[in-house]
Amino acid sequence: MGAKYVGVLTAGGDSPGLNAALRGIGKAGLGLYDMQFVGFLDGFRGLMQNRTIRLDEKSLSGILTRGGTILGTSRDKPHKMPVGGKYLDMTDAMMDTYERYHLDALVCLGGGGTQKSALRLKNRGMNIITLPKTIDNDVAMTDVTFGFDTALGIATEAIDRLHSTAHSHHRIVVVEIMGHNTGWLALGSGVAGGADVILIPEIPYNVNEIADAILQRSRGGKRFSIVAVSEGAMPVELAAKKNAVEEKLRKEEDEDKREKLSGELVRLEEERSNSTLALTQNLEKLTGLESRVTILGYLQRGGAPSAADRLLATRLGTACTRLLHEGRYGVMVAARGDGMEPVPLEEVAGKRKTIPMGHPWLESARSVGTCLGD
């Protein structure tokens, strides 16, 4: 049966296009199907604590172009909620709220983590539909996520601007671009902005190869270089250590030993988070060229969504409402070409869309002479 009472929440890191999607879901639901919407504040935490706002014509007006999310967000997970200094499974409390509002369905807008949490709530008995958002573009089973295009534009513009200062000072400029686990944003903006070196988590890098590529440019008369690096990219040595510890952790059953290995992973993660700075210093040493680092950080998530993201978020939002009306639950509304496809949550949760080796963007980058650090 089609939904009438619908809950909505936004979870995970914020992303341009969230408000456009909320507006799409809400306006289509109010206007076409007489649905009623309640918005839960700050992700799954608001669902647990029963903190809400009404999503009506008034609150959904004027938000299409606004960045962030009018609902607020958090990275809290239903089964690992920080409560009173402990992490507790609060799925039942969320089910209570769902029942208190007599909801027919709950829509969760989020990235990879949200898809997993949503599946958990589905298995607890809720009717769930999700939408794929994240500037990282790493949600499985969808062509693209909303937020990505906006961040791509921001990162590309940043690379453009860094070009003129790098050129004037004959420097290496290393620019760190978001993407904890996947390199879509660094690769896309690196190709679009003409970065000379692009480093992504999918391809561990060799700092000597990068230095050689820069020195070769230098010998050819190009006395500056732009290095676009994903925050998750790391040198081969560190990647090998991390893989080895993860492999051991997968096999280890002894609790004490598991704890030790987890601690080791945290330490390696810290090393990784400092690797952009270390890379910049190493490149200066190896090439003799003055080097600077720029970390774009949260700039990439802020501000108004691009036209493409507004369109995508509105498209997926209104498609979601159609699915609500048809009572088709337990799915993520995936972008497929110009249309959409409902994909069962089981096929999305726990998976990540990394850049496949041989992806056309990688081939193009190599074809124009970009160094990928390998």
Q: Residue 179 or 373: which CB sits closer to ligand F6P?
A: 179
Q: What is the C-alpha to C-alpha distance for residues 293 and 271, in angstroms, rounded to an integer?
A: 17
Q: Residue 129 or 178: which CB sits closer to ligand F6P?
A: 178
Q: What is the DSSP string of 263-328?
A: HHHHHHHHHHHTHHHHHHHHHHHHH---EEEEE-GGGGT-SPPPHHHHHHHHHHHHHHHHHHHHT-
Residue with tokens 């893989």: 243
Residues 165, 218 contacting (CB under 8 angstroms) = no
- Residue 38 to residues 60, 97, 128, Cα–Cα distance (Å): 12, 11, 14
CB of 211 to ligand F6P, least distance (A): 27
Q: What is the DSSP string of 171-210?
A: -EEEEEE--SS--HHHHHHHHHHT-SEEE-TTS-B-HHHH
Residues 35, 324 contacting (CB under 8 angstroms) = yes
Q: Residue 150 or 287: which CB sits closer to ligand F6P?
A: 150
Catalytic site residue 338? no
CB of 104 to ligand F6P, least distance (A): 30
Residue 283, Cβ neighbours under 10 Å: how many? 22
Q: Residue 76 or 196: which CB sits closer to ligand F6P?
A: 76
What residue number has its CB nearest to ligand F6P?
Answer: 13
The residues, ordered by sequence, that sit 6+ positions from 106 with a Cβ below 8 Å of its Cβ are 6, 7, 8, 9, 47, 98, 121, 126, 127, 128, 129
Q: What is the C-alpha to C-alpha distance for residues 210 and 227, in angstroms, rounded to an integer?
A: 9
Q: What is the C-alpha to C-alpha distance for residues 148 and 98, in angstroms, rounded to an integer?
A: 31
Q: Residue 179 or 317: which CB sits closer to ligand F6P?
A: 179
Q: Residue 178 or 197: which CB sits closer to ligand F6P?
A: 178
Q: Residue 180 or 352: which CB sits closer to ligand F6P?
A: 180
CB of 231 to ligand F6P, least distance (A): 6
Residue 11, Cβ neighbours under 10 Å: how many? 31
CB of 58 to ligand F6P, least distance (A): 29
Pick the catalytic residue from 136, 149, 196, 309.
Answer: 136
CB of 230 to ligand F6P, least distance (A): 8
User: Which positions touch ligand F6P (CB under 6 A)?
Assistant: 13, 75, 134-136, 178-180, 231, 301
CB of 365 to ligand F6P, least distance (A): 20
Q: What is the C-alpha to C-alpha distance for residues 7 and 269, in angstroms, rounded to an integer?
A: 36
CB of 350 to ligand F6P, least distance (A): 17
Nearest Cα to 67, choosing from 133, 114, 160?
133
Residue 333, Cβ neighbours under 10 Å: how many? 28
**Radius of gyration, alpha carbons of the chain:** 22
Instruction: Give the full edge-to-edge strand order of the sheet including 172-177.
Output: 197-199, 225-230, 172-177, 291-295
Residues annotated as catalytic are 136
